[in-house]
Each structure stands twice: as C-alpha cells, then as structure tokens.
Amino acid sequence: MNLVMLTMLLLPVTIFTAMMIAAGCGHRLALRRLSRPNPDAAVGAGAIDAAALGLLGLLIAFWFSLAATHLDLRRSLIVEEANAIGTAWLRLNLLRGDDRSSVQDQFRSYFDVRLAQTSGEEADDRRAGLATQVNDLRSGIWTTTVAAVPHCDSPQAAMLLIAALNDMFDAATRHDASFNAHTPTAIVVLLAVVAVVASILVGYDLGTHKRFEWLHMTLFAVLVSSTIWVIYDLEMPRYGLIRVDDYDQTMREVREDFDRVPSAARSR
C-alpha cells in the first residue's frame, strides 16, 4: 500500500473522528454554559452556526468542482495522447523501408513503457525507472527520425512527420502533468478545519438541550467525511474506485493497431 492509498483511507476516518470529538467538546462547553445561565448568550448564535455550515458546504462544492474538472481533463488528455501516437505511427510510413522499421520498433517499446506508467500503483523507484526509460526512448525516436527524414520523398512529408512527433511528445507531457495536478493542500486543510469548527458549533447547539443527539451528529460526520473521501477519490483516478481505466483502453487499442496495421498503411 503506497502513500496515496493510505491517505485515501485515513483522510475520511481522521475527519470523522475529529468531527465527533469536536462535537463532544462543543456539547461539554454548552453544558458548562448552562450551569451559569445568561439570557443574552445565545443571541446571534444561529446565524453563526448557519454561516459556518454554509462555508463548509461552499468549500465542499468548490473542491468537488475542481476534482470533477481534473477528472474530465485527464480523460480527454488520455484520448489526445492516443490520437497523437496513432497519427505519428501512421506518418512513419513516410519514411523508407529500413528507417521506418527501426523507428517502428522504437515506437512499440516507447508505447509499452507508456502503458506501464498508467497503472499508477508502482513503487517510487519503479516509477522513476519507467520515466527514465520513456525519456531515453523519446530521445532515440527523435534522433533516429531526424536522421531519416532527409530520405523522405519531399520536405513536406518530413515536416508532417516531425510535427506529428512533436504533437505526440507534447501530448504525453500534458497527460503526465494532468495526473500530477491536484487541488492545493491548503484548501483541503481549510476544509478539514471548517468541518471541525462546524462540528463544535453543532455540538454546542445540541448541548443547549442538555442531551447529545449521537445519531444526528454521527450521520452528519459520516456524510461530510464520506463526501470528502469521494472527492479525494476523484482526485486520484488511478488508485481508488473512480478510475480512468475505460479511457486507458483507448491507449491499449492503439498499441494493438501497431501489430495489425501493415507497414505500407496509408498516412494521415
């Protein structure tokens, strides 16, 4: 179990526990306050409670919106890279026989490593090794292609192939960057703090009736912590229940085409 999966498990449990403890503390404060009655003490308390709960809901909605946007972006970039690689593969037919075969072999190796990177569950050293392989294969593809393009039938054909390689490498960079882009930690910390403060206020409000409503508070904490867990799951689509595996299939289908398409296939 890596750090991401451990965080995915501990985050909702920690927030739930903190909210319940905070509610209990708020309830105790209310009981202590009741022992010294003050008729003006509760004036405006309802507005403050509503403001805190409203802020909590606003932060949850904001984080959910960011996480959903990130998920849609990651899905679209997977398809973009698959299309870019497929286009570059077809344009390799602009090269002549031996040059084309050499670059095609490098393409297969490059794409195999890219597919290995989609798992997301490797150890840090394994991910670093895959990244090094990708960089080496990328440099090899570029060097071999640049050396071979002078043998193309026309300068225009060479330009089409070089442009396709650039698009393929750029798409891979955007793809990788999207999976490293997450909601700032400060927002998550602020959300947790607001959830705890709101729980204190809810516990205090429940304490004005002397009886602590465990059912209501437990359900409230479960709803908030479960929502936070789902949103965090959205942010990590290679680890949790909400995944991008269906879109990864697009990449695998393109790789299968490498073995089905004849070397004389038409270029795009």
Give the pLDDT confidence of 18-49 residue by residue, as tens digits: 999 999 999 888 888 776 666 555 555 678 88
Percent of the chain with pLDDT over 70: 89
pLDDT given for residue 121 in this prediction:
57
Given pLDDT bands bounded at 50, 70 and 90, which one contains residue 108? very high
Give the pLDDT mean for 148-174: 91
pTM for this one?
Answer: 0.80
| Best-predicted range by mean pLDDT (94-98, 128-132, 176-180, 221-225) | 221-225
Per-residue pLDDT reduced to its tens digit, 205-249:
877 667 778 888 999 999 999 999 999 999 888 888 888 888 888
Among the ranges given (32-36, 91-95, 127-131, 242-246), the one the predictor scored with the smallest mean pLDDT: 32-36
Given pLDDT bands bounded at 50, 70 and 90, which one contains residue 173? very high
Among the ranges given (24-38, 95-109, 187-201, 253-267), the one the predictor scored with the smallest mean pLDDT: 253-267
Give the pLDDT mean for 193-198: 94
> Three-state SS across the chain?
CCHHHHHHHHHHHHHHHHHHHHHHHHHHHHHHHHCCCCCCCCCCHHHHHHHHHHHHHHHHHHHHHHHHHHHHHHHHHHHHHHHHHHHHHHHHHHCCHHHHHHHHHHHHHHHHHHHHHCCCCCCHHHHHHHHHHHHHHHHHHHHHHHHHHHHCCCHHHHHHHHHHHHHHHHHHHHHHHHHCCCCCHHHHHHHHHHHHHHHHHHHHHHHCCCCCCHHHHHHHHHHHHHHHHHHHHHHCCCCCCCCCHHHHHHHHHHHHHHHHCCCCCCCC
